[in-house]
Amino acid sequence: MFFYSKENYVSFVLNLLAKVSKENNRKFTQIQIQKSIYIVYAYFLLFRSAICKMEFETWKYGPVIYDLWKEQTKFKSNSVLLEFDSNLDEQYKKYEEDYLVCEKILSFLSKLDCWDIVQICHEQTPWKKLYKPSKNIKITDKDILKFHVENGENFFCYLDFVINKV
């Protein structure tokens, strides 16, 4: 699965989050959404193949996509209204294996507390080395790959185990 635009990738993940939200009766804040999008992106980069071309910024609570933040900032710390689109969902189900991996990651993350996800992003991603208050430094694919080579056994290895367990 590859997305030619970050907007399509973000729409796919938001739609899948809406599905997971509905199935698990969970709501997501802007912070959880931003971190979930980052974690899916980084997982694919590390264990499968790049899912699209994106850069995240280092913000106080972890990796952020600025354009999405602008769009969702009206929700502040409240749950973001996510609407599931079955047509969009069907469009991506043809990539069955990748679709299921994304769904498993988001289902796993939906069971975690918002601040646990922030902690993961603070300790288990390049954010840890790059963050400088109010600088919004870009996190590139190279940064993600380098961090995980230098920090072997980490959350993403555990996530890979969870996804691939029999």
Is the whole-model pTM more than 0.85?
Answer: yes
Q: Check residue 72 and give its pLDDT.
A: 83
Q: How confident is the model at residue 146 (pLDDT cuts 50, 70, 90)?
A: very high
| CA nearest neighbour of 16 among 64, 72, 65, 84 | 84
Three-class SS of residue 131? coil
Q: What is the mean pLDDT of residues 43-67?
A: 95
How many structural domains compose the chain?
Answer: 1
Instruction: Answer whether 90's CB lies under 8 Å from 45's CB.
Output: no
User: Cα dihedral sign for 23, 98, 121, 160?
Assistant: positive
Domain that holds residue 58: 6-164
Instruction: Give domain status of residue 153, yes or no.
Output: yes
Q: What is the mean pLDDT of residues 42-54?
A: 95
Instruction: Give domain status of residue 1, yes or no.
Output: no
Q: What is the mean pLDDT of residues 133-149?
A: 96
Q: Is the pLDDT score of 81 beyond 80?
A: yes
Q: What is the mean pLDDT of residues 10-20?
A: 96
